[in-house]
Amino acid sequence: MGNDPVTLTASETDPCSYGVIAQLPPESAIDVYPGPSTDLEPIGQLAEAHPVWICETSNDSEMVGIVYSAFAGNDSEPAEDCGVSSPVAEDIDYLEPCESGWIMAEDVELLAG
């Protein structure tokens, strides 16, 4: 299992749900991976309360594909519009303007969607 882009799935609703990185021990962060496997080299890290959009779930439901702004903004609000809050007509791999990757499902708290 290697790099696997986060896919936005076509539907009549928003392709992603909104959440934040769940409570972590002080001074810690979670790893972000390029595919749904912790065997891959991490591509980044996210701290507690960083806002994310949950867009996909791995086949074993252990990991989720997320989209996130590199900057958290204030009060857990995203710093930029990542373009995932409107329906898409066909399944597409997410490319920009924000970052994307995979994290453990247990590390995110769903807030809306």
Decide if 2 is inside a domain: no
Is 0.75 topped by the overall pTM?
A: yes
Count: domains in the chain: 1
Q: What's the rounded mean pLDDT across residues 51-62?
A: 91
Decide if 82 is inside a domain: yes
Decide if 19 is inside a domain: yes
Decide if 62 is inside a domain: yes
For residue 12, what are the domain limits?
7-112
Decide if 54 is inside a domain: yes
Q: 21-38 pLDDT, tens per residue?
A: 998 888 889 999 999 999
Decide if 100 is inside a domain: yes
Q: 70-91 pLDDT, tens per residue?
A: 765 555 555 678 888 888 888 9
Q: How does 33-70 read in b/e, with b if 16+ C-beta sit within 10 Å?
A: bbbbbeebeeeeebebebbbbbbbebeeeebbbbbbbe
Decide if 55 is inside a domain: yes
Decide if 1 is inside a domain: no
**CA–centroid distance for 9 within its chain:** 14
